[in-house]
Structure 1
Amino acid sequence: MIIDERETRSKRIVEIAELIMTAARTAPKGKGIDVIEIATVMGDDIQKLSDVTYAKGEECGLKFLFRDAENILLADAVVLIGTKTKVQGLNCGYCGASTCEEKLKNDAMPCAINMIDLGIALGSAVSTAADLRVDTRVMFSVGFAVKALNIMTECHSVYAIPISISSKNPFFDRRPREQK
């Protein structure tokens, strides 16, 4: 039997995305409470994600969103990792509010513990990707646009990790793009 690597990519990208999602899910949590949401975008949905990222760039004027909207079209999959707005009840003040009850008066303010947990989950995810020798990049920009697709709606903050199985990392040498 001869197995051509190119013919197995679509199967492997699903397996790789699942392993990356598992790493994010099992990442340590500050209080041990899981408020992380994880999803993978593949196929035609990557184009939709690119379109909303581009539209977000037009809306807010951040030019790097145009570049990243185009860049994710080179991905085989995009893993999304976000955190819910739920407070942890520690009254730690790390978010800037004196208590969690005070923080709840401001929905725009994320729980700092949750944001730290999100960072740990992202680190675990890209560490697993590196172990699997696939190319990735953590993108705030694409996660920023996710809410427009009405996915991960309970999340305050979402980051995207595009994944590529290719001979050259498409997320490394990125040129700024302008509006079309």
Structure 2
Amino acid sequence: MILNERDTRHEQVLSVGRQMMVAARTAPKGKGVDIIEIAMVGGDDMKVLSDKMIALAEENGMKFFLRDADNILSAECVILIGTREQAQGLNCGHCGFATCAGRTEGVPCALNSIDVGIAIGSACATAADNRVDTRVMFSAGLAAQQLDWLPGCQMVFAIPLSASSKNPFFDRKLKQETL
């Protein structure tokens, strides 16, 4: 039997994506409270995500959303990692307010932000261990958040995955028409 790598690559990348979701889930959480949500986007939903990013670029004028929207279409799948907002009651002041109760509505608990960051780091380390290319994208995360793909999450980041001869998520240029 001869098995060509090109014939197995997609399933291998999806398998790494599943491992990344487990790594994000098992990452340490502040006070041991797990308010992280994780999902994998693939298939036709990749185009939905890219289209939403293009719409956001038109709304906010941030041209890098267009570049990232094109990058998403080069990925095998995208991992979404987000956090629901929940004050941890430590009154630590890391959010800029002296107490959790004194926080202005809409200001995230710093521990929630740290938790999502640690989960992203664990997921990306898993991809690196498996030699799968990634890039953490605020743009795609915001699009996924607005699509409500991680319901209840106030902060979402996206991690596209690729296994090709060159990482499509680095050394990127804006499309000429976006300059």
TM-score by length of 1: 0.94
**Secondary structure in 2 matching 1:114:** helix
From 135, 155, 158, the counterpart of 2:156: 158
Aligned letter for 2:44?
Answer: D
From 137, 155, 159, the counterpart of 1:139: 137
From 107, 110, 114, the counterpart of 1:112: 110
C-alpha distance in 1, partners of 2:11/2:70?
A: 24
Q: Quick one: percent identity of the two aligned structures?
A: 57
RMSD: 1.4
Aligned letter for 1:60?
Answer: N
| Residue in structure 2 matched with residue 97 of structure 1 by the alignment | 97
Unaligned runs of 5+ in 2: none
| 1:17-166 alignment runs, 5 A limit | 17-103=17-103, 105-106=104-105, 108-166=106-164
Give how far 1:148 is off.
Answer: 2.5
C-alpha contact 2:145 2:154 (8 A) present in aligned 1: no
Q: Deviations over 1:100-130 (max 9, x none)?
A: 2222x51x21110010111111111111100
C-alpha distance in 2, partners of 1:170/1:10?
A: 15
C-alpha contact 2:81 2:158 (8 A) present in aligned 1: yes
| Residue in structure 2 matched with residue 167 of structure 1 by the alignment | 165
Give how far 1:179 is off.
Answer: 4.5
C-alpha contact 2:92 2:98 (8 A) present in aligned 1: yes
Aligned letter for 1:7?
Answer: D
Q: Deviations over 1:35-81 (max 9, x none)?
A: 11111100110110000011111111111111101111000000011
C-alpha distance in 1, partners of 2:96/2:44?
A: 41
Q: Deviations over 1:5-35 (max 9, x none)?
A: 1111232122111001111111111221111
C-alpha contact 1:58 1:179 (8 A) present in aligned 2: no
Give how far 1:153 is off.
Answer: 2.5
**Secondary structure in 2 matching 1:31:** helix
TM-score by length of 2: 0.94
C-alpha distance in 2, partners of 1:132/1:17?
A: 10
**Secondary structure in 2 matching 1:159:** strand
C-alpha distance in 2, partners of 1:163/1:57?
A: 22
**Secondary structure in 1 matching 2:30:** coil
